Amino acid sequence: MFANPSVDTIAVRLKSGSINGKRMTFDGKSLSVFLGIPYAKPPVNELRFQKPQPIQHIPDPYDATQWPKACIHQKLHENYLNPEMSEDCLYLNIWSPSEPKPTGALKPVMFWIHGGAMQFGSSVEKWYSGQALAAMGDVVVVTINYRLNIFGMLYTGVKHTGASGNMGLWDQALALQWVVDNISSFGGDPHNITVFGQSAGSMSTSVHILSPITRHLFQRAIMMSGAATNNVCTPQTLEREWYKRVVNTGCGDSDPNSQEFTPHMIECLQKAPVAQLLKAVGPQLTACELDFLVDGQFIPKNPIEMLKSGDYRQDLDLLIGTVANEGTMVMAFYMDPVKFNR
């Protein structure tokens, strides 16, 4: 089965502006497709390392017929998992069955969060296209980009406002809120949303079930290999972990005994070239697993404590499973990246 794009276009009017998508067919079924819709202001310049900011207006009409760029991440292979990347990456994609149900009812929504250890991956990978699921499942499918690695998880401590941690999770939350606010214009039911993900996407899904920021925004969840019950970081531990990683960026403190971020370091990191940051920080996982931070807000307490106390969304449908061999590729990269890249 292959999708056959057509020349037809389709327009949707939102409060922020008009969006032009395209029609295509998959397995003989018609779909309306919208690629690269911005859900936040570009997280660049002074917004680097900050929580995502809602976008109020977009160019009218907005062309949503081309894939967005992926968020900045480490390249695993020269010819594999290597899409075009940019810091300006907070976009989502929508596939909607073009033919309404006989009752005219809105369709269920599937909100996909990709995996990649919060280090790599994007919504633009071909196997994350929502066309098959939308056509065969008669659902509206949404896939998203969110910030990764240092751009999505950096934490510089409570003394400074440089990076508050969990930015990638806040990106996901803002995208989910955008869907709640706008998906009915695409034929989706904002009261029938399933959040699902694999690996880091599954762990993120479990965080959204726990978090008071997001747990009221969806009704169902699917967790495919992973939950946020591993070593979620305390602020003190995560600050030390990130400090050790950024000292090689050229933004390190002049005091060799210091283990705290300074205003000078944060200003330097805000302005440092992308390649310089990635080269110095690397893709290494830490003692904090995915660098999720118990920040008192998005993750109020340790997830285990929240589960034990019943502090989570309990009235939702939840499907939990595993994905065979999901770690094979990543294991090879981390064990011997030189041989892997051959």
The average pLDDT across 282-309 equals: 80
CB burial of 39-48 (b: ≥16 within 10 Å; e: otherwise) equals bbebbeeebb
Mean per-residue pLDDT of the chain: 86
Residue 47 lies in a domain: yes
User: For residue 145, what is the domain's CATH number?
Assistant: 3.40.50.1820
Q: What is the mean pLDDT of residues 207-227?
A: 95
Report residue 127's pLDDT band, with 50, 70 and 90 as the boundaries: confident
298 pLDDT higher than 50: yes
Tens of pLDDT, residue by residue over 147-193, are 999 999 999 987 777 898 999 999 999 999 999 999 999 999 999 99
In a domain, 322, yes or no: yes
Q: Which two tokens stand for residue 280?
A: 């110095």
**Number of structural domains found in the chain:** 1
In a domain, 248, yes or no: no
Would 126 be classed as within a structural domain? yes
d(CA 81, CA 102): 40
Question: DSSP letter string over 215-270?
Answer: TTS-SEEEEES--TTS-PBPHHHHHHHHHHHHGGGTT--S-TT--S--HHHHHHHH
Alpha-carbon distance 266 to 101, whole Å? 53
Tell whether 266 is covered by a domain.
no
Distances from the Cα of 249 to the Cαs of 150, 265, 322, in angstroms?
A: 11, 10, 37
pTM (predicted TM-score)? 0.90
Tell me the residue range of the domain where 209 lies: 3-231+295-327
Q: Kindly state whether residue 271 falls inside one of the protein's structural domains.
A: no
Q: Name the pLDDT band for 289 (thresholds 50, 70, 90).
A: low
Give the other-Cβ count within 10 Å of 332's Cβ.
14
What average pLDDT does this structure show over 302-309? 91
DSSP-derived pairing of the beta strands 107-113 and 188-198: parallel
**Which residues make Cβ contacts (< 8 Å) with residue 217, sequence separation at least 6?**
173, 176, 177, 180, 193, 208
pLDDT band at 221 (very low <50, low <70, confident <90, very high): very high
Q: How far is 319 from 200, CA to CA, in rounded Å?
A: 16
Tell me what pLDDT residue 272 has.
Answer: 92
Q: Please, which pLDDT band fits residue 69 given cuts at 50, 70 and 90?
A: very high
pLDDT above 90 coverage of the chain, percent: 54
Does the residue 277 lie in any domain?
Answer: no
State the first-to-last Cα distance of the chain, in angstroms, to the nearest integer.
Answer: 32
Locus of tokens 């069955």: 97
Whether residue 102 is contained in a domain is answered as yes
Report whether 23 contacts 10 (CB < 8 A).
yes
The pLDDT of residue 5 is 46
Q: Which of 87, 34, 89 is nearest to 62 (CA)?
A: 34
- Give the best-scoring range by mean pLDDT among 142-146, 157-161, 196-200: 142-146
